Structure 1
């Protein structure tokens, strides 16, 4: 198989066929990832960096080493066939590798994987066009995004083309890229870069490709699964959509999937377009097989994403290089970002039952970061605060210990009535030491534990200027929280229905560290923003469990054991930047649904609670692992709760948890 690429031009290796000659059906295998988010080290079930202990237990997923192995193995299995490897953007942001190397490490490992094409994601602009321009200097594959319009003064200039043509075994494959229209609001492209309308830009680029005689066109997008379904797949002459941005897991076997893989969409041209996406964080490798007819129309599409679990041994050379690059990161963890005049209280015995100074710090930081977007209210779950910070110097590592889950800043719109409902949820399980207790900024409220659940909250007031006014149930407020809560975690199901939601802001640890640095020496405080009116039963001790762990998405499939075999490697490290605070299955159709990442199952418990409130993404298997330490005991939970459909557990429903 020969392969070459050209931007906006016909490839030199066109088949010289006589007019009217017929082609046989053409099979194309598309491997793809999206939303890598700097997960260079392997991740655990909470999507944060996997520990040595978890590696030893074979509980880790993804990472550059495993991803390289998975790609190599799949290419080997497809030897002699037509294969493309595509990247749907957001390789930046999400770990200390990005904080340290600012894209150089990501570029190095992506080059080793030999991608054929990439579109930019909104996070590629997080360090303005400068960061992206440096990344483009390093990558050895083409980057295409039709709606990125750079001026002559931009460092990007014309380096990001609307489309390209790949020659794959004599067939011309067109690739058109696009990034979300919201990029200027979500990131920092700067004054020399305009983000044009994605649909109009793709449409124009597709017609240009058609004019060049290309009849097999892939839209490589970073606009999100709902928009891919509703608009991109319906653009004339688009044949396949490989997407990103919404972190959507599509699957034919996983009950947590947002839709089937591929999801088939009816194009107005009278044909069906397969739409795919492969979750995020290097956890999955998309594996799609397309059959085209003579005219370039998709006859058949099938596949399923491959879960990159511990059965994949990390590539030894990559693993050694990751270890080498990780050394300066330890220095970053030790970096002093500021100081605190006194200890910042983050103990679970406090933050899960009442206002605490760590809760105020994190909520204030979220509100400060998003205030220029019109956000008025911030809510952080107390269970997401995992440690206190001593008085004196504050290090980046200490902040990461407080907020270790790599949860991201999320924003959305909600009515005042929905905000009150969310607060009611937050104070509904104080007696159980649940992690849902709301630490807030921009508002204050009172609660009474002696009253029934659902009617405990009163006197909710929102800060307007220098004063507080009663919350207006009918008014729409902009709210900041973390992506775990926004997706319904800790019982905040009301947040799942938020309008104009965006879940992929910066890491909360970075947001908090930057806030401490800007307000150093920081003075911890509580100010009565949360007031308890009546004292109920005493709160549980720290040894008692929280129903849910405030973390990012949990794995959808139990990992299978396989040994990892690291080996030494050589190569110079990129200079650190200045520190700153599965078998194919037939395709089926599915309706477009609003995506939301599924939060993780409950945190490990020292004792078994009697009840649990279902959070988005919970499964009986995961809950059995949490409460009993054994997923095979899931039937005990099922039997105790009337044997509900395990694929349709109702978020917010309280279930019985029988003793082991």
Structure 2
């Protein structure tokens, strides 16, 4: 059995060391390091921390973010809302306190369930959790609150979001979200803040959505420069209404969350916690107010006890939980939500639960990885694209990380589900003839955005280095083309090369827009589009009954001092489904 990993916290002035007793009876040694001043990556095992001196808990909050499926992750052995539903009941029985959930955004899209079955399936999953929170004795009842993430506004039309708002029983908050146009009829469903009595404590909530995601005709545009002023306005209003403890629910980048935690904590000492989303990996910060983020699909999540310390001041006791096969699932959730959804998916995709291949090594397809660094899964796919039969032969292949929506790390049996969740829409492989100068500009576009952007390219047939500390447009420091008669050779800016790319970035849409800003690809000499990437994967897996084992090869190197975008998790547990 894995040992429990230790953490040390400062929240907000009480040093918290590791608890000698784990949630499941695991033991460990106390930590001695000081509180981190920068975001820290979560350990792989549970980390339960002791309470501040004289701590009297009043209520419990479970923290979720970025949930893209109704069922579990990692071939069924990790995460999933069925385990969260069971955790609600277990927490209620253990604590005898009100239990709440805050969801920090992104659940409608890019969910395969929403894309192919409608948003009702993901809404039904969260409605089930909300109803679970409303059950039991009055003293232990809670509710579910969400802030919309950028993917709630993914579709051009308002209809999916309107349907979700109309059918949800949980509470939506968005201090910077103002619906209009076709969504004006449900605008009142998104509240700017909330003041709840939780376990006898008056708790005020504000919520911020990612400004860049509020870019559709049915929602007013927002400016990230206004995050702090909006939050200050809502917090001041909540304090005036008698809030004793303050919480923010955010779907922002971690850098913005940390800046808010420091600024707002200084102005509003009762602010204890920012429940963050948008980043898909578990992390935390204690610089200012506590900031937490969990893994997507609840592989690792947070449970926090709130109350008062010996001085009567608001206090929090955080705990990180890794949901695995050791955690129970909720039979009613499986019967009412997951199994009916699975039946629909199996009807739509006959191979959804059938084996289609084997991964002999873990395939790295987590979003924070494919959008930031070279991955073995990205290498596998771009190698297939470069080798696609046809003329002229491709020298280089690229695909944008935003194309890959599996957001998981999979080893062992590969099923139809993995393929469908990876590519939720057609991705024919197109060939374009580009000059070396255009290829360099293509790579500059890949790395000139912020961390985690979908424009980041996975590549085949070349290797390059870049440095984000340099100005956008001049970050690529070296490029070599591979596979020639002399092996690796410097990119020649005046020479032409054939580039294979997925159609989203290789062509323009009906409105003349180039996907993810790749105008240099769309404006190159178009040589035609061929086989869809999904078919290439299926055919390759059939040719390799013993399985695939792609590796990283140093194709992409980030210079300078980049953060750990893609923390290596522990060896995965044995596959089961």
User: Equivalent residue for 2:154?
Assistant: 126
Contact 1:118 1:144 in 2 (8 A): yes
The Cα of 1:143 is off from its aligned counterpart by 0.8
Distance 1:27 1:103, change over 3 A: same
2:182 is the alignment partner of 1:149: no
State how far apart, in whole Å, the 2-side matches of 1:328 and 1:102 are.
Answer: 11
Give the aligned partner of residue 523 of structure 1.
530
Identify the match of residue 413 of structure 1 among 436, 447, 453.
447
SS at structure 1 position matched to 2:294: coil
Please say if residues 301 and 320 of structure 2, whose CA atoms lie closer than 8 Å, have aligned partners that are also in contact.
Answer: yes
Q: CA RMSD in A?
A: 5.2
- Deviations 1:261-317, CA, capped at 9 Å, x for gaps: xx3223xxxxxx22222222122331112343699854x433222111111232112
d(CA) in 2 for partners of 1:313 and 1:88?
24
Q: 1:401 to 1:423 in 2, by over 3 A?
A: closer
CA shift at 1:222, angstroms?
0.8
TM-score (norm 2): 0.55
Q: Which residue of 1 aligns with 2:115?
A: 99
Match of 2:388 among 337, 350, 357: 357
1:64 aligns with one of 61, 81, 84: 81
Contact conserved, 1:124 with 1:132, CA < 8 A, in 2? yes
Note if 1:320 corresponds to 2:352. no
Q: Secondary structure at the match of 1:304?
A: strand
Aligned with 1:189 (options 216, 235, 238)? 216
CA distance in 1, matches of 2:381, 2:294: 39
Who is 1:33 aligned against? Answer: 63
Ranges in structure 2 where 5+ consecutive residues have no aligned partner: 1-53, 131-142, 352-376, 428-442, 450-454, 465-478, 499-503, 506-515, 517-521, 534-543, 554-560
Q: Which string of whole-angstrom CA distances, capped at 9 and with x for unpartnered residues, describes residues 357-395 of structure 1?
A: 3897x967749x99xxxxxxx9xxxx99x9xxxxxxxxx
1:166 maps to: 196
Out of 400, 403, 415, the position equivalent to 2:419 is: 400
Partners of 2:170 and 2:384 in 1: CA distance: 52
Q: Does 1:226 align with 2:255?
A: yes
8 Å Cα contact 2:114-2:121 kept in structure 1: yes
Cα distance in 2 between the residues matched to 1:350 and 1:289: 44
How much does 1:422 deviate?
A: 8.8
Query: What's 1:536 paired with?
Result: none
Shift of 1:30: 3.8
Give the aligned partner of residue 238 of structure 2: 209
Looking at structure 1, the residues matched to 198 and 178 of structure 2 have their Cα atoms a distance apart, in angstroms, of 28
* Unmatched tracts of structure 1, length 5 or more: 1-23, 45-49, 251-258, 267-272, 336-345, 371-377, 387-395, 429-443, 470-479, 482-504, 506-514, 527-539, 550-592, 599-615, 630-660
Q: Report the Cα offset of residue 90 of structure 1.
A: 0.8
Task: Name the one with the larger strand percent.
Answer: 2
Q: TM-score, structure 1 length as denominator?
A: 0.49
> In 1, are the aligned partners of 2:399 and 2:459 still within 8 Å (CA)?
no
Alignment of 1:573-612 (within 5 A): 598=566
Structure 1 residues 457 and 401: alpha-carbon distance in aligned structure 2, compared to 1, 3 A threshold: farther
Q: CA deviation at 1:232?
A: 3.8
Alpha carbons 1:146, 1:162 under 8 Å: kept: yes
Number of corresponding residues? 390
CA contact (8 A) 1:181 1:195 kept: yes
CA contact (8 A) 2:272 2:316 kept: no
Q: Distance in 2 between matches of 1:404 and 1:597?
A: 22
Corresponding residue for residue 318 of structure 2: 303
- CA–CA distance in structure 2, aligned partners of residues 285 and 618 of structure 1: 15
Distance 1:216-1:404 versus aligned 2 partners, 3 A rule: same
For 1:462 and 1:40, the matched residues in 2 are separated by 50
